[in-house]
Chain A
């Protein structure tokens, strides 16, 4: 990158204008000044450009050179991404630390993927084979849990002229030469891909598998499928980051891309210290082995924050293309939108709602569109699921980012301030949240958990709705005046909230619930309601129902019965049924 393409004329924080510009392309990656700060051309007008600079521009002077690259802002894709940590424009933070002190200084340049590291390459094709774009021609065991499939880049196809034999190699070494219509193409283990352009797929597939998160309120009430998109809005401290961390830890995705976009440094440190110690409940491997971290914290340059979302999703698509199910956590999409607003403001664009640029909804749509489950170019099934946190100002969901996001996601986990204040976690509101994916994944649940899953789920949701209406009455007259049949609804909902919906992220047993456990716990609580309602009809009192022995066990089952003790839950279910029947019979005898 040496060509001078223009000179700086004006500096406005992260936005730099340049003049006398020749040969510039929109969205081209450039370097600015003698510190070679990296940036991207975001506006072209005659012979002037505007550049959004990914580093602090302190000390930059007008007249400084702007250097072109001829390339759009891209990420490097290849072995070594997993368990790495990058900033918003894919600078490797661990390696930067090794080169400087504990601060991120300006102008440091380190390649994203380790050039020296040796990988064991296994060819899966041979010379003479015809290969299509996206086809897998070899593999590398990237971490204990993930085999990195080496694919022909999406814009290349032809015949393999040569391919390396099985053996150790480095990422920049040529591993295959492909004869294409436009000449020979040398393949290494690295591909570059422009971050703002979705990677191509063969076709989209309908979603049918849930992304199991182990969080009961999510999986049971408001599920998201593999390839789905969900928003998690909530005021400060209501638990967005905890939800993102829990999903990153426990979900059954093959690969997780976690983007700390404009949030706290310590939250990233938390992940860095905790994930290597945790093991994936399915594979038994360290969680870090399947995780890529992108950290562009709130105090890091705002332009790189804007890019971080794209950097992350491009990596996610790359693993999807290898046939993996990838989940991407974006905490917080609002900080990304604010970065967009700040840059737009500095470019003196016309603002729309709340100062956000008019293209905010388009950008949001483009991002969430990149979620999906697909048949990949290599013929496999892979998916990208997006879980986007939203941080509405004042916790008010009517603001533009929440409202527009709602248009592009089909599930919504609304965090509620009152629940959070009462330390009911996760504070996902059962009244304001929804999932439009339930239909899609119902067959899966029926097969994996039980035929009656949809009925049980509907029944509890219905009870929660009834409870909300009854609470309106209670607020005016107290609960005492309600008949026992209605007070039972209140009791059961209280029980469901305490024993099922509340789930402590900090409790060893409670933090993760398998599908089987969730299903049984749900069934036990609904059974208590069904048989209780019958007993009351036969003349039993609520007092009697409250005194049955298994009730206190049910209250504490989430802490006392572990994921591998399903027989204990079954036994509890049977005990409950016996006790309730006996109660019913006593009264039926009188009736």
Chain B
């Protein structure tokens, strides 16, 4: 359609809508509108709400209203079609500011004066434009640095459960994360979906204490905001992150919490639309939808910036095979799993020894990056701890007295691993050398010939030292 026509259409305002079901609005008798484009709705009092077109057909559309439809009436609602997708003004001046899930300021400050507005849906990054992330980020947390190393540009979620200290662990990562021997241009983009005020408060306080608040951009769609707004929150946040990383060359850490609330909002819409459900009535496209968020991480050629993502999600019933953690794990580059059992033993951070994984670890560790022995000691710790789990299971059947001396040694190792290696204080920032040394200290409780994954030279150099 010619541009002039298009402009005329965008000025046109319609009065009246045909149907409202939950957050969905059905409109007929309109000009032909574009799929996925933005819609403005005004209620009787002239109050504006935004929505997006989920389905476009001739002279009709299905619109999902972000702020919810409470208070909208069929006759008095006025509708205007913007003719483009939701866009976010982007500018470095937004650092230090707080916005809602759609990118409107909620900190009392003025709207940002930005030269550019970016489509919040983003576009897929061309795989040939990516650079493979390899830079080790020291978080100061042994369970992460030693065994599940985070690298710059990675997407590494925290799988947690209700009541587990995922916020503390994440805040500790934000406070302590740095690249050894480098001082850089960094920013944090924080997106909250459906979490309570006190969670947002906790992070704000933590950023303030560390003195990074002016480097943080927040997008808050808290528990009392309409649930559909959550669907846009990570998108606006990631658009901000892309601008800071790929245009302004900053190193951006993105925290998305809680992805479970995001997925639930998605399920709600899908159910209302009568779509064919897949597992646990989540829509069949949950994987693709999550991927369109998580894949917005990484590094690209011609930019020195990066986006590192740490999404947080709570596993319903602590079940890691639930579709939300399951599909997340299928997309992200590993996961940090928090374990209730460890937490109940009083261990902080309760990072599960076996199911946690960092897939980008291999290229971020070793001589010149961390230390020559890193890969082998990490692998050996995993193997030995797996054995501990077996021995514990056996001990619970036959009793500790009946165990072989070797099995008993494994139990001792297991205790030491949990209390010395895994455990640390919330303000304890361990260097990678310290982490590896503690690893050696606990592994040296085991006899040498149990250590199949460690080379002779490494044994000579580090065992029992």
Segment 170-206 of A: residues with Cβ below 8 Å from B: none
B326, A264: Cβ atoms closer than 8 Å? no
Q: Does B144 contact A (CB under 8 A)?
A: no
Could you say which residues of chain A place their CB within 8 Å of the CB of B128?
A: 85, 93-94, 97, 269, 272
CB distance from B447 to the nearest CB of A (A): 12
Knowing A61-B32, A104-B123, A299-B291 touch, does A475 contact B55 (C-beta < 8 A)?
Answer: no
> Within the assembled complex, what's the spacing in Å between the Cα atoms of A342 and B286?
10
Binds B, one of A8-16, A307-315, A361-369: A8-16
Which stretch, A68-76, A455-463, A477-485, touches the partner chain B? A477-485
Majority SS of interface residues in chain A? mixed
Whether A475 pairs with B132 at a CB distance below 8 angstroms is no
For the complex, give the distance between the alpha carbons of A498 and B451 in Å: 11
The listed residue (B126, B354, B404) touching A93 by CB distance below 8 A is B126
| A242: nearest chain-B partner, CB-CB | B359
Q: Is the CB of A345 within 8 A of B298?
A: no
The reply on A590 being an interface residue by CB < 8 A is no
For the complex, what is the distance from the CA of A59 to the CA of B84, rounded to whole Å? 7
Q: Using Cβ atoms and an 8 Å threshold, which residues of chain B touch A102?
A: 125-126, 129-130, 246, 300-303
Residue of A nearest to B119 (CB): A58
CB atoms of B394 and A474 under 8 A apart? yes
Say yes or no: A421 contacts B355, CB within 8 Å: yes
Over the window 324-337 of chain B, the binary record of Cβ atoms lying under 8 Å from chain A Cβ atoms (1 yes, 0 no) is: 00110111011100
**Chain A residue at minimum C-beta to C-beta distance from B384:** A422
A248 to B75, CA, bound (A): 62
Bound CA–CA A478/B393 (angstroms): 11
Residue of A at shortest CB range from B355? Answer: A421
The answer to whether the Cβ of B207 comes within 8 Å of any Cβ in the partner chain is no
User: At the interface, yes or no: B22 with Cβ under 8 Å from chain A?
Assistant: no
- A residues within 8 A CB of B58? 9-10, 62-63
Beta-carbon nearest neighbor of A102 in chain B: B129
Smallest Cβ distance from A353 to chain B, in angstroms? 11
Say whether A137 faces chain B, with CB atoms less than 8 Å apart: no
Contact of B56 among A61, A260, A552 (CB under 8 A): A61
User: Which residues of B lie under 8 Å from residue A424 when comparing CB positions?
Assistant: 383
Knowing A59-B37, A102-B246, A393-B279 are in contact, say whether A479-B404 is a contact too (CB < 8 A).
yes
Q: Which of A237, A262, A341, A395 meets B357, CB within 8 Å?
A: A237
CB atoms of A96 and B126 under 8 A apart: yes
Assess whether A573 is interfacial by the CB under 8 Å rule: no
Cβ-based interface call for A276 (8 A)? no
In the complex, which residues 277-295 of chain B have their Cβ closer than 8 Å to any Cβ of chain A?
277-279, 284-285, 287-288, 291-292, 295
- CB pair A422–B284 under 8 Å, yes or no, is no
Is B455 at the interface (CB under 8 A from chain A)? yes
**Contact partners of B302 in chain A: CB under 8 A:** 102
Nearest B residue (CB) for A419? B386
A103: B residues at CB distance < 8 A: 122-126, 129
Question: Chain A, 84-123, contact with B by CB distance < 8 Å: what is the 0/1 string?
Answer: 0100000001101100011111100000000000000000
Hey, which chain B residues are within 8 Å of A479, CB to CB? 404
Q: Is B311 part of the binding interface, using a Cβ–Cβ cutoff of 8 Å?
A: no
Q: How far is the CB of A254 from chain B (nearest CB, A)?
A: 25
Tell me whether A298 and B354 are in contact in the complex, defined as CB-CB below 8 angstroms, given that A63-B58, A102-B246, A103-B123 are known contacts. no
Shortest beta-carbon distance from A388 to chain B in Å: 16
Question: Are B330 and A236 in touch, CB under 8 angstroms?
Answer: yes
Q: Which residues of chain A come closer than 8 Å to B322, judged between CB atoms?
A: 394
Chain B proximity mask over A267-300: 1 for CB below 8 Å, otherwise 0: 0111011000000000000000000000101111
The answer to whether B329 and A237 touch across the interface, beta carbons within 8 angstroms, is: yes
Inter-chain CA distance A302–B284, complex, in Å, is 12
Quick one: given A265-B125, A298-B291, A345-B276, are A559 and B331 in contact (CB under 8 Å)? no
Q: Tell me whether B275 is interfacial, beta carbon within 8 Å.
A: yes
Structural contact, B35 and A268, CB atoms closer than 8 A:
no
A265-B295, A476-B398 known; A10 vs B55 contact (CB < 8 Å) = yes
Most chain A beta-carbon neighbours within 10 Å: one of B58, B335, B407? B58
* B135-179, CB < 8 A from A: none
Contact A395 B321 (CB under 8 A): yes
Which residues of chain B are within 8 angstroms of A355 by Cβ–Cβ distance? 276-278, 284
> Are B300 and A475 closer than 8 Å at their CB atoms?
no
Quick check: B354 and A422 within 8 Å, CB to CB? yes
- Bound-state Cα–Cα, A345 to B279, Å: 14
A103-B126, A342-B284 given as contacts; is B36 within 8 A of A59 (CB)?
A: yes
Asked if B37 and A299 make an inter-chain contact with CB atoms under 8 angstroms apart, the answer reads: no
> B287 near A338 (CB under 8 angstroms)?
yes
Does residue B105 face the partner (Cβ distance < 8 Å to A)? no
Contact A422 B383 (CB under 8 A): yes
Extra contacts besides A302-B285, A338-B287, A351-B276 (6): CB < 8 Å:
A102-B125, A269-B131, A298-B291, A299-B296, A480-B404, A552-B449
Residues of B within 8 A of A (CB): 1, 32-37, 55-59, 84-85, 121-133, 246, 275-279, 284-285, 287-288, 291-292, 295-296, 298, 300-303, 321-323, 326-327, 329-331, 333-335, 354-355, 357, 359-360, 362, 375, 379, 382-383, 386-387, 393-394, 397-398, 402-404, 407, 449, 452, 455-456
Q: Which 9 residue pairs across A and B have the least CB separation, nearest first? A: A298-B291, A422-B386, A394-B321, A102-B129, A236-B329, A103-B123, A10-B57, A421-B354, A299-B295
Report which A residues bind B (CB closer than 8 A): 9-13, 17, 56-63, 85, 93-94, 96-97, 101-106, 235-237, 260, 262, 264-266, 268-270, 272-273, 295, 297-300, 302, 335, 338, 341-342, 345, 351, 354-355, 391, 393-396, 418, 421-424, 474-480, 498, 506, 552, 555-556, 559
